[in-house]
Structure formats: structure tokens, C-alpha cells
Chains A and B, each alone.
Chain A
Amino acid sequence: MKKKLSTGDVLIKVLTPIVAVGVALILGMILIALLGKDVGVAMGDFFEGALGNPIRIGDTLSKVAPLTFTALAFAIASRCGLVNIGAEGQFYLGGIAAGLVAIYAPGLGIPGIGGAVVLLLAIIAGFIAGGFWGLIAGWLKVSFGANEVITTVMLNYVATFLNKYLIGYNGPFYDGSGNPQSEAFKVSFERGFLVDGSDMTIAIILGLLALVFYYIFFFKMKKGYEMRVVGLNSTAAEYAGIKVKSNALLAMFLAGGFGGLAGVSELLSAQSRILPDFSSNYGFDGIAVALLGQLNPLGMGLSAVLFAVLKSGGLAMGNKGTISPYIVNAIQAFVIILVVASVFIQDEYTRRKLIRQAKATKGE
């Protein structure tokens, strides 16, 4: 990764995401002003809610882990040339699997199954369940050529409704309380990690480790190299004797697995039981986090923090009642649109630069 970049390259890489987020916030403020609300108050609520005191900061940071995992779900597939829009569904599958382990495993009375072991089992179950969900799309792709964009989106619906069924009134895991929900988890991540009284848990460390794994896998390991070759030029991969299909399957399993871990980290950190819509859009936010971070591990880590701030600040604005929570959603949508646009702007910049260089060297 010791690539020589020109100052222009670096500048554009760093500046575009910052500008994108800045413009989105300005658009958000304009929107708030158009509604006749006080922009100053709203912004005050936003920053107070996200970063107002150590506990608030801790709460905000607690969202970093699920965002990092869903970003990885997008990024891993992307490195293999696949577009995984299914992190939302993988999130649900992972969350359900981990939640069920956290509810039922302690009661099995198996000796040695204590809190930490149950959590470990929950993490593994969540990874496998999410991975399985990703693998379905991968299998449809390599066996029938089904476009993974479409299948992953469809599987998102299947996953959310599957969850609603499982904990619904007639579902197998309904707790009988009169509300569609499961029983409470008997084991979960301990809150107050690093910051007493906050929602932060050790999940944020898991997120960091996942980023490190991502880096090592793709840039230090031969399997990751193979996957990148497939992603960048599948014809060259075939020529080199690399199996394109099995790489696609593995990529979708890993991507789904990390999507699943997002569900695990959210459910076992911030929630106490499985509820109908427990994701609050993490799967889709992850795409924006990955794009804003340009699939780079450090970049994705930083943009996960930024999105965590946006999410919890927005939530705070909504909770104060000064503006409707739907406006908060709109602001987040601005961010995503502008982030995606900024990626295109960068691609265009690089493309033009390459054309200039090609013309310059060929002179034809």
C-alpha cells in the first residue's frame, strides 16, 4: 500500500467526503429553516444529543460497531466484484441467531456454558446465520447468474418478515406478553465499556478487530489476493487458474457473516430482546459508510464514527420534538446521496486524469 499519490489525488480523496457531509448538513439546515424552525436550536440539539457529555459520546460510539460491520459486509463483497445490498437482511439473520442463543443457551443446563461462552456462541451463530443469508445470494449468482443486487434486496424483505413471524403472536419465539417480541436475553454485552453509564460495549473492539482482519485478509493473505483478482478482472482470474465461482461464494459468506455480526453487536449491546424492526437501517447506512470510507479500512472506521454521530444527533433532534424524526431521516438521506455522488465525482476525476495521461503518453 505504499503507493505514491500526487497531492491532487490525496486532496480529492480527503476533501470530497468532507465536502459531501458539509453540503448535506447545510441542505439539512435549509430544510429545517424552510419548515420555519429555528436552525440554531435544532443544531444545538443535534450536537448536544450526539456529543454533549461523555455518556452521550459513549452512546454515540456504541453505534460504531454495527455500522462498521455492515460497511464491511458491503466492502468485502465489493472487493470481489459483487454488490451486496443485503446487509440489512444479514443483520436480521445474525441478530435473530445471536438473540436466540442469548435467550435459550443459558437455560440448557450444559455445564461450562457461562456468560462469556454463551456470548462467544452467540457471535459464532450470528456470523454463520448472516453468512448463510449472504451465501444464498452468492449461490443464486454462480448457479443461475441471478443479479446479486436484486437477490440481496429481496432477501432483505424475507429477513425482516421472517423476524416478524418468529416473534409475532403465532411465532415460535413469541414471549406471550401481548406485544410481538421475544423473551429477554439472559446474557448480553456489558454496557458502560470505557465510559460508565453509556451504552458502549466491547462490541466496538470487535468492530476494530474486524477492520484489522479485513486489512490483513485482503492485503496480506493469499485468499484475499485471489479474491481481489476476481473482483478486479475475473477473466484474468480464470486465466490464472483461480476459481471465480468459489471465490464469489466465499466472499458472499464472509460479507453476510459480517452483516450478521452487525446484528449481533446491536442486539446484544443496545437491546434487551428481539423486537420487530430492530435494525433502524444499519444495513443501508453501512453501504454509505463503506463508500464514504472508499473501502479502505481506516476510512471506513472514520466514516463509521461520522455516521454514528449523524445517527445519534439526528435521533436526539427528533426526540426533543423540535423537528419531526422524518426530517432527520431526510438529512441522513442527503448525506447518503451526496456521499454516493462524491464517489462518482472522484471516479470521474480519476477517469479524466487517466484519459489525459493516456493521451499524453500515446499522443494519438
Chain B
Amino acid sequence: MAPILEMKNIVKQFPGVLANDNVNLTVEKGSIHALMGENGAGKSTLMNILYGLYAPSSGQILFNGKEIHITSPKHAIEHGIGMVHQHFMLIPALSVIENVVLGKPENKKVLELKSDAEAFVALGARYNMKIDPYALVSDLAVGQQQRVEILKSIYRGAELLILDEPTAVLTPQEVTELFKIMNQLKEEGKTIIFISHKLKEVLTICDTITVLRLGKSQPSVPSAGTTKEELAEMMVGRKVFLNVDKGPYNPGENVLRMDHVFTKGTHGALNDVSFEIKKGEILGIAGVDGNGQDALIDAITGLCKVSEGKIFIKGNDMTNSSPRDILEQKVSHIPADRHKRGMVSAMTVKENMILISYYKKPFSSGGFLNWKFIEKNAEEIVETFRVKTPSIEEMSGKLSGGNQQKVVLGRELSRDPDFVIAAHPVRGLDIGATEYVHECLVAERDKGGAVLLVSTELDEVLTLADRIAVMYEGRIMGILDKEDFDITRIGMMMAGQNQ
């Protein structure tokens, strides 16, 4: 089949950085084409060029064999290029159909919402999607919003659909649904560019894969016959070990015990949560974002009040203790949002290294900070945890995301914890950094530490955890032992069903 899209020698120069360096991308009509790469590899830049958000510094775009110059998203839509962004571009306060017709060139002065709504519902039916065109977008679940976005692009006549990290917000079942829709679109002759960093998904759904690394495109490969390891190597540029080596599972005594814990609050408050974590084990919390994971961590670390129930750490009742008293129990916390919680961006690396321990000897004594020791300690952590920074005097906000996370990780793990709480520890990190963070967490477990791992990436939980607890609407739906890890079952539990 003929290519629908050819991007040739695309160069995009930003001040100080070459985001796209002679990128070539050829997409066959009627295929699902994966675009992969680490953060900063240039995927988004390339797609933003295609969608008319950026102008390329040089290069050529052929669409259906004809050279086109796309100057705006409107222009891209007219050519039949649609894009579903990672953060949806829907207006929550408007109804579905109002969002769909927004910006449609055929709109008259008075909108003909009724006929549009009928046509839109009919289109949805073709893909087995039930959609209420008059529902407010803000009332829809995330998965539904995504389907509206996809349908909207199709409705507006997209022949080529760009999906930017579409599975990031979905449960495994919703991912399966999405893949069904994608396959149906493909059968109808539509073309899809699927942006993702999840190796397994890409190999499942895509026909051809193009990897970007450091702004350059690697030669495309067919997904049939390609392995995860090969893909990871293409992305990182060196061999990567996807499976983490763990020592034997040897659980000891309880480190954390949650006993029928409730918290107050409207969204994602804890509802009768009980579980235990033992020495030498990683307990993974699986669940779609916003189902009480934040409340769970806040309750354990003393950052929110427990309204009922008890929390024991190493046998001590720490229910509603102060955050500092809890940290003093040799608890380390790698928070979900490193910018908001984990570090102070406008402070230097060395100042961030003492965020938790600054008041203790030998970091300070007699009310004064001991800068000599602080600097020595910071240098050590930077070296041990391979933080790339010009110096410990650098503002931590200036470091890359991966290195910021290493600052947090290094600080927390160098405190010799008995219990590590890690929330989304690899969010936004590239494969290399992810590998390292995972190694560190497993090392804590193998040393006899207890680890609570909260992640929305099911693969991460499945690889690292010794047991998995699934959360849904603030409740623990169930706790599975390693031999019961089953993605379908976990997926059902993530969606609130328990057979």
C-alpha cells in the first residue's frame, strides 16, 4: 500500500537544542504506526509539526503523495489529520456535542446541534460506543472523554489519527476496548500514529515502529519479530535489563499495619482500609489514579487525619502522629509529585539533601547548620545515586526530571530506612533512570526493608511487587499473592468489580 504520510528530513531547531535532527517517518495507509522514544527524544515536537503547532526549520511533509505545508491545527484537520492529545482538549463545562462542533468550519450562525448530535451518535454506534451527546464533558469518566476525542476527530473527517500516550490514563480493560476501536478504524482504512513508551502495548497493537532517540529517527521496524529488549535498546542506545533481579521472598515481621482506616473527604477518601507490609517485601498498590492512593500515603505519613481506625508502624501506634514523628520511625517517603512535595526547586541540591534531616546531628548542632558535613554528605549522595548536576550548588529546579527524582531518591534512601513509601517513583523518567530507581527499591527490599509501591503503571507493580493490593474508590478490593497475579483479575478489581 502507498504511504499516506511521509515526513522527510524534518529539522526543528529550538534555541540551544536540536529537537528534531533530520527525522524521517513514513506511515503506510491503513496501518497502526508506533512512534516511540524517551522523554525529550523529539516525539512531541515531530507530532506538533505534523499537527501544525510548530513550523519545522526545514524538511518536507508529503500527505497522500502531495507536499503540504501545515500552518495551524485547523489546517491539519482540513487535510484529514486529527490528534488526540495526552491532556484532552475538551471544554469540561460544555456538552459532548458542543465540544464536537467547536471550530467546525461548516457551523452556521445558529448551531444545528440536533442534526450533528444524531450523526455523532450514529458514528459512535458504529464503534459500539454509547454516547450521550448532551452530557457535560465534566461528567464523563476519563476513558469516555478519550473516546469522545477520538470520535470527534473521526467525525471531523480525520484520515490520519495521532494518539499521544492514550493508554496512560486507562485501566487494562479500557485499554483492550481502545485497541478494539483502533483495530476497527484500521480495518476501515484509517491510519493511526500511536505514541507510547510502553513496549508491550506497542508490540501488541502496532504494525510498524519508529523509534526516536536524541532527536534522530532510527530505521523503522515491523513489530512482528521484534522483542521488547530490542525496542528498549533502540530507545536507550544500550542494553537494558527489563526484568529486575530480586532475591528470594523472605518476609519478616510486620513493619506497617493498617487496621480499618477511614479518612474524611469527598474524593478518594480511605474507606475501611486494612493491610500489612512485612520486612523484606514490596507491596504494590495498583489502581487507576485518584482512587485513594494519595489519601493512603497521606494517612500513613501523617499528612492527613485518620478519622477512624489505627495505623501501626513497627508495632507503634502512629495514628495521627505528626509527620516528623512518623519520619523518625525510619520511614522514607518518595512523594508522587516531586515539584510540589519532594523538593524545593528554588533551593540548591545540597539544601534539598537535608530537607528531612536538617535538624539532626551531624547535619546541625546547637541551632547552626553544619555546612561542611552537609556538603560532604551531598557529594556522597550525588555520587552514589549518579545524579547528573554541575555541582551541589546548582538549583535543583534546573536539573532534568530524572535527576531531580534521583535527588529525592538519594536523600530518602540514604537515610537508611526501615520502610520506604514510593509513589509513582518513575513517573516521567526515561528507561535508563527507571531501571535504576527500580534497582534501588528492590535493593531496599533485599536488605530487609519494607516497601510500599504505589503506581498506576500496572507493569511496574507486576514486576516489582511481592504482593499486590488493588484500590478502587478508597477501598482495598483485594490483596493478591505473587502466584495469583493475573492481569484480567487485577483489571476487574481496578474497575471496582470483584468476583
A120 contacts chain B at the CB level, 8 A cutoff: no
A4: chain B residues within 8 A (beta carbon): 390-391, 393
B343 contacts chain A at the CB level, 8 A cutoff: yes
B1 contacts chain A at the CB level, 8 A cutoff: no
A4 to B335, CA, bound (A): 29
**CB nearest neighbor in A for B354:** A225
**CB nearest neighbor in A for B399:** A361
B324: chain A residues within 8 A (beta carbon): 240-242
Chain A 330-362 residues near chain B, CB threshold 8 A: 354, 356-357, 359-362
A347 to chain B, nearest CB (A): 12
B344 to chain A, nearest CB (A): 5
Given contacts A236-B343, A241-B324, contact A364 B19 (CB under 8 A): yes
Not counting A241-B356, A359-B16, A363-B19, a sample of 14 additional A-B residue pairs whose C-beta atoms are within 8 angstroms of each other reads: A4-B390, A221-B367, A225-B354, A236-B340, A236-B343, A236-B355, A239-B323, A239-B335, A357-B16, A357-B398, A361-B40, A361-B400, A362-B40, A363-B45
A353 to B347, CA, bound (A): 17
B14 and A222 contact, CB distance less than 8 A: no
Given contacts A3-B393, A223-B367, A232-B344, contact A240 B356 (CB under 8 A): yes
A222 and B342 contact, CB distance less than 8 A: no
A233 and B15 contact, CB distance less than 8 A: no
Given contacts A222-B369, A232-B347, contact A356 B356 (CB under 8 A): no
B39 contacts chain A at the CB level, 8 A cutoff: yes
A293 to chain B, nearest CB (A): 18
A241 and B327 contact, CB distance less than 8 A: yes
A354 to B398, CA, bound (A): 8
B17 and A222 contact, CB distance less than 8 A: no
**CB nearest neighbor in A for B390:** A4
B364 contacts chain A at the CB level, 8 A cutoff: yes
10 smallest CB-CB distances across A and B, nearest first, come from A241-B324, A363-B19, A360-B16, A241-B323, A360-B17, A364-B44, A239-B341, A222-B364, A233-B344, A240-B355
A175 contacts chain B at the CB level, 8 A cutoff: no
A357 to B398, CA, bound (A): 8
A residues apposed to B, CB below 8 Å: 2-4, 220-223, 225-226, 228-229, 232-233, 235-236, 238-242, 354, 356-357, 359-364
A363 and B14 contact, CB distance less than 8 A: yes
B184 contacts chain A at the CB level, 8 A cutoff: no
B325: chain A residues within 8 A (beta carbon): 241
B464 to chain A, nearest CB (A): 23
A229 to B395, CA, bound (A): 14
A364: chain B residues within 8 A (beta carbon): 19, 40, 42-45
A229 to B341, CA, bound (A): 11
A356: chain B residues within 8 A (beta carbon): 15-16
- A sample of 20 inter-chain contacts (CB < 8 A) reads A3-B393, A3-B395, A4-B391, A220-B368, A220-B369, A221-B368, A221-B369, A222-B363, A226-B358, A226-B359, A229-B347, A232-B344, A232-B346, A236-B341, A239-B301, A239-B323, A359-B17, A362-B39, A363-B19, A363-B42
A103 to chain B, nearest CB (A): 36
A225 and B351 contact, CB distance less than 8 A: yes
Given contacts A363-B14, A363-B19, contact A222 B367 (CB under 8 A): yes
Partner of B347, one of A220, A228, A238, A363: A228
B29 to chain A, nearest CB (A): 28
B273 contacts chain A at the CB level, 8 A cutoff: no
A360 to B369, CA, bound (A): 36
The digit string for B327-367, where 1 denotes a CB below 8 A from any CB of A, is 10000010100001111111110010011101100011001
B215 and A363 contact, CB distance less than 8 A: yes
B322 contacts chain A at the CB level, 8 A cutoff: yes
B303 contacts chain A at the CB level, 8 A cutoff: yes
A354: chain B residues within 8 A (beta carbon): 397-398
A233 and B368 contact, CB distance less than 8 A: no
Given contacts A3-B393, A222-B364, A222-B368, contact A363 B17 (CB under 8 A): yes
**CB nearest neighbor in B for A241:** B324
A361 to B14, CA, bound (A): 10
B40 and A235 contact, CB distance less than 8 A: no
A362: chain B residues within 8 A (beta carbon): 39-40
A217 to chain B, nearest CB (A): 10
B45 and A235 contact, CB distance less than 8 A: no
Partner of A233, one of B345, B356, B359: B345
B15 and A359 contact, CB distance less than 8 A: yes
**CB nearest neighbor in A for B46:** A364
A236: chain B residues within 8 A (beta carbon): 340-344, 355
**CB nearest neighbor in B for A358:** B398
The digit string for B377-420, where 1 denotes a CB below 8 A from any CB of A, is 00000000000001101010110100000000000000000000
